[in-house]
Amino acid sequence: MIVPGHRAQGLAAAVAMATQQPLAGVAYDRFPDGELFHRITTEEMESAVIVAATDSADALVGLLQLQDAAGELAGSVTTVLSYMGYARQDRAFESGEPVSARALAAAISTGTDQVVLVNPHEPAVAGFFDAPTMVCDATPVLADAVDPVHTDPVVVAPDASARPMAVALRDALGRGAVDHFEKTRRSSTSVDLSNDGLTVTDRTVVLVDDIISTGTTMATAAARLLDAGATRVDVACVHGLLAGAAQTTLRRSGVTEIITTDTLDTAPATTTVADALAGCLRAR
């Protein structure tokens, strides 16, 4: 039975359809003092697959509560993290800093028999879980949403670490070339991008990354690509946080289309990872 987390209800329903499994009833409440009280209203289930996005502290607490409830009702619990918050802090850069991804993984591991992650920001995060963990790559899903106008695109990553994702998207498209920017981070909010040697003249571009948060980096990259002669730039990501004015920032930079999946209920999704997750759940 598929159990929807508060921040991934749409995806949970789509996964239930893709796996032909029933969708559990849930209630998301709060006590008068503001504390969360999430519960499962379906009383009988042999196994539970919780589909959740932990993009906030409340979402994490809600997931832990659903795990605890599912553990009482079902013989086994699988936790699908469509989006794992705090995954970007996968190491301590200075003395006294937490490894936030490790802390969250430890907490989540206590209430589940296995974990499925959708494109964690850092692959090493999968190793932090005490429960058996598999990674479901949703990059090929993005290819289905790329406009056919991209007959011979250049698929560009905003930095070298995202280049494998650009390669995976190009391979899923079955056409085009791959390139990436050289990125130097100056601060938590400022980055330098170098496009020396990146050739996009008279080509359409699909700019891809796993997460778009504020959109600043992708907007800077898109503007550089258009200045370098690209005829069109679309951006694609698995996790569309699109915080604050991200959509406006991207559009003002000249981006034509924003392609996102439904790993978060908050994103204006253009495609779904439900079938990809269904395949991963069948393979576990």
Same domain for 156 and 105: no
Residue 29 lies in a domain: yes
- What's the pLDDT at 183? 74
Tokens of 93: 């850069």
Cβ–Cβ < 8 Å for 168, 139: yes
Residue 267 lies in a domain: no
Residue 187 lies in a domain: yes
Residue 100 lies in a domain: yes
Same domain for 277 and 201: no
DSSP 8: G
CA distance linking residue 172 with residue 184, whole number of Å: 29
CA distance linking residue 115 with residue 82, whole number of Å: 10
Q: What's the whole-model pTM score? A: 0.92
Same domain for 236 and 204: yes
For 9-51, the pLDDT digits (tens) are 999 999 999 999 999 999 999 999 999 999 999 988 999 999 9
Same domain for 7 and 121: yes
Q: Which residues in the chain land under pLDDT 70?
A: 185-191
Cβ–Cβ < 8 Å for 69, 50: no
Same domain for 127 and 21: yes
Catalytic amino acids? Answer: 183
- What's the pLDDT at 185? 64
Question: Phi and psi (nearest 5°) for 109?
Answer: -65, -25
Same domain for 182 and 76: no
User: Which residues span the domain enclosing 243?
Assistant: 139-259
CATH assignment of the domain containing 43:
3.40.50.2020
Same domain for 243 and 213: yes
Residue 143 lies in a domain: yes
- What's the pLDDT at 186? 60
- What's the pLDDT at 189? 52
Same domain for 192 and 132: no
Residue 25 lies in a domain: yes
Domain tally, the chain: 2
Tokens of 284: 């576990």
Same domain for 102 and 18: yes
CA distance linking residue 139 with residue 269, whole number of Å: 14
Same domain for 88 and 6: yes
Same domain for 8 and 86: yes
Q: Give the bridge partners for 236, in sequence order.
A: 208, 259
Same domain for 179 and 109: no
Residue 179 lies in a domain: yes
